[in-house]
């Protein structure tokens, strides 16, 4: 796009060619006359500035009506910008880094190259300014600098934490040499040294775990286990530190088993890390709450404290590597500030979600882990023993609704082979009509439908007497907690992710016999 003023006289061929070249330039470019009035700018200048300035208008002299700053944040007056200086001094100003603030408040960084041009008498008759947008590069450089600072801080802390146990170990060796025949003193020194060596081992284990998790080299040994057993393991690990700091711990667990598919030791490590984190960042004599509960098909574990809390700016980064809060309350407790990174990695390897919340500094914090539950071993055994009978008895009337006709028809065909009676529909209105006529006991319903979306279809079915007891299965490409919440509020019994896993669907349909909707 070539933008230029209406010329008073015919523009000569060289001027036209020059502007065509600027238009093709992979950078922002604009031209001013000797008085600083903008006479031309290319499309990339609009992209950089965020709007088009006025041509030949004194309100947009030199650089447009944009706020300019030097790299140190000092405002640059328009009559002191590089274009103005080039026109005034008749000199080139190349590679000057400037910050442009748009009208929306966003800031962009560019390298300015302001070069004057002259008439036949050597008088400055204008100048061209080429601006290379380096905003992304600057952001990347800032991120690298921050990462380097974090790395240096981490290495300094690592050296500090590894030196901490060395002092009492060296003192213990000296005590054992000086103790002579005092067996009691020598025994105390040995116990102290064993504790400190244990602290060093835990530090090194954390480093190795972090490396294995981040590189994807950690292998989980999953088994079906009662989550309450995992919590007991975590409490056994964390209770000494909690008691040492004088905290009050309250534990609330369900009365019945809550099975998950997990690596027992690694999942226990997750909750031990969270409990230890709360203990270290809570003042002596504080309170810690551990809660385990079932929410639908998920298990929720919450670790809450009334400790130092988390600032709003830190909260989004709390699980990032090298991110640390104020460590002033840790006293002599060892730790590298990498525990939460390990927690996130292990939880995600278990297919779960971990979240942190806090009202701010001094307001305590809460960490929540969500994991999918599985059928208890006893029920699974019974299910396998009666699989043939279940399949024979688990014939359902199933309505499959999907605007992708191939997807709907193929799924219905598969279910029909399994002896289910099926119908299909391809939009929300057709789904309601078919449901009323066919009266299925199971509806597999896509959310993104034409005419009427899946949420509204489900709501309307639930409002009918014939639809109150239907098993409604949402099928969608979205699986965040908010999506699951919306499905539940609309009246769905189950939420499945596209593409539907046939085996998972078979298990779900068989399970309807054990757990009627």
At 229 the pLDDT is 92
pLDDT digits (tens, 9 = 90+) for 199-217: 677 667 777 776 676 667 6
At 138 the pLDDT is 86
As a whole-number percent, the residues of the chain with pLDDT over 70 amount to 84
CB 117 within 8 A of CB 130: no
At 157 the pLDDT is 62
- Token look-up 């008498």 returns 121
What's the predicted TM-score (pTM) here? Answer: 0.46
CB 78 within 8 A of CB 62: yes
At 322 the pLDDT is 59
The helix/strand/coil state of 82 is: helix
The helix (run of H) or strand (run of E) holding residue 272 is helix 264-280
**Could you give the count of Cα atoms lying within 13 Å of 174 in the half-sphere of its Cβ?**
6
Work out the average pLDDT over 292-302: 94
- Give the lowest-confidence range in 140-144, 192-196, 212-216: 212-216
User: 28 phi and psi, to 5 degrees?
Assistant: -75, 140
As a whole-number percent, the residues of the chain with pLDDT over 90 amount to 33
- Give the lowest-confidence range in 239-248, 310-319, 322-331, 343-352: 322-331
Going by C-beta distance under 8 Å and a sequence separation of 6 or more, which residues neighbour residue 108?
48, 99, 100, 102, 133, 135
Nearest CA-CA partner of 131 in 56, 58, 38: 38
CB 281 within 8 A of CB 374: no
At 427 the pLDDT is 93
At 64 the pLDDT is 67
The helix (run of H) or strand (run of E) holding residue 126 is strand 124-133
Going by C-beta distance under 8 Å and a sequence separation of 6 or more, which residues neighbour residue 465?
none
The 3 state secondary structure assigned to 202-266 is HHHHHHHHHHHHHCCCCCCCCEEEEHHHHHHHHHHHHHHHHHHCCCEEEEECCCCCCEEEECHHH
At 330 the pLDDT is 41
d(CA 290, CA 308): 17
| More confident call, 1 vs 331 | 331
CB 83 within 8 A of CB 113: no
Going by C-beta distance under 8 Å and a sequence separation of 6 or more, which residues neighbour residue 448?
403, 454, 476, 477
The helix (run of H) or strand (run of E) holding residue 368 is strand 365-372
d(CA 3, CA 278): 62
| More confident call, 31 vs 392 | 31
At 331 the pLDDT is 41
pLDDT digits (tens, 9 = 90+) for 447-474: 989 999 999 999 999 999 999 989 999 9
pLDDT digits (tens, 9 = 90+) for 482-510: 888 889 999 999 998 888 888 888 888 87
d(CA 350, CA 261): 8
Domains of the chain: 2-133 (3.30.450.20), 143-214 (1.10.287.130), 223-372 (3.30.565.10), 386-514 (3.40.50.2300)
pLDDT digits (tens, 9 = 90+) for 55-85: 888 877 777 667 889 888 899 888 888 888 9
Question: Burial, 144: exposed, middle or buried (Cβ in 10 Å; 0-12, 13-18, 19+)?
Answer: exposed
Dig out the tokens for 471 from the structure: 């098993």
At 387 the pLDDT is 53
pLDDT digits (tens, 9 = 90+) for 419-436: 899 999 999 999 999 999
């Amino acid at each position: 796009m070539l933008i230029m003023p209406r010329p008073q006289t015919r523009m000569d061929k060289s001027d036209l060619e020059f502007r065509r070249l600027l238009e093709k330039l992979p950078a922002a470019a604009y031209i001013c006359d000797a008085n600083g009035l903008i006479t031309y700018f290319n499309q990339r200048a609009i992209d950089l500035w965020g709007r088009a300035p006025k041509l030949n208008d004194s309100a947009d002299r030199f650089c447009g009506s944009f706020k300019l700053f030097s790299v140190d944040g000092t405002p640059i007056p328009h009559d002191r910008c590089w274009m103005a200086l080039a026109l005034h001094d008749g000199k080139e100003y190349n590679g000057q880094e400037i910050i442009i603030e748009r009208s929306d408040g966003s800031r962009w960084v560019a390298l300015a190259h302001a070069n004057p041009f002259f008439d036949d008498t050597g008088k400055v008759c204008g100048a061209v300014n080429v601006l290379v947008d380096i905003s992304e590069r600057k952001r990347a450089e800032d991120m690298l600098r921050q990462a380097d600072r974090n790395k240096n801080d981490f290495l300094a802390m690592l050296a500090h934490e590894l030196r901490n146990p060395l002092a009492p170990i060296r003192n213990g060796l000296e005590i054992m040499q000086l103790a002579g025949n005092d067996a009691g003193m020598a025994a105390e020194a040995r116990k102290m040294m064993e504790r400190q060596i244990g602290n060093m081992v835990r530090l090194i284990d954390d480093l190795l775990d972090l490396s294995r998790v981040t590189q994807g080299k950690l292998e989980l040994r999953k088994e079906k286990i009662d989550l309450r057993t995992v919590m007991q393991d975590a409490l056994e690990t964390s209770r000494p530190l909690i008691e040492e700091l004088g905290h009050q711990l309250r534990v609330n667990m369900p009365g019945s088993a809550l099975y998950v598919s997990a690596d027992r030791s690694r999942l226990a490590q997750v909750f031990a890390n969270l409990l230890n984190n709360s203990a270290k960042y809570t003042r002596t004599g504080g309170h810690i709450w551990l809660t385990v509960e079932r929410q639908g098909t998920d298990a929720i574990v919450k670790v809450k404290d009334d400790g130092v809390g988390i600032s709003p700016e830190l909260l989004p980064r709390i699980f990032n590597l090298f991110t640390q809060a104020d460590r002033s309350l840790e006293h002599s407790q060892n730790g590298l500030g990498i525990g939460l990174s390990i927690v996130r990695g292990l939880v995600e390897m278990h297919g779960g979600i971990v979240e942190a919340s806090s009202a701010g500094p001094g307001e305590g914090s809460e960490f929540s882990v969500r994991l999918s539950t599985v059928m208890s071993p006893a029920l699974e055994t019974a299910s396998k023993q009666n699989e043939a009978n279940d399949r024979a008895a688990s014939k359902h009337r199933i309505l499959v609704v999907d605007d992708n006709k191939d997807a709907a028809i193929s799924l219905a065909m598969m279910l029909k082979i399994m002896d289910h009676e099926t119908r299909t529909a391809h939009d929300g209105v057709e789904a309601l009509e078919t449901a009323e006529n066919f009266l299925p006991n199971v509806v597999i319903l896509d959310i993104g439908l034409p005419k009427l979306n899946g949420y509204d279809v489900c709501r309307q079915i639930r409002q009918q007497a014939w639809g109150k007891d239907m098993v409604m299965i949402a099928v969608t490409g979205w699986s965040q907690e908010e999506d699951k919440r919306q499905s539940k509020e609309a009246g769905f019994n189950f939420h499945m992710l596209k593409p539907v896993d046939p085996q998972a669907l078979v298990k779900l349909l068989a399970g309807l016999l054990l757990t009627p909707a």
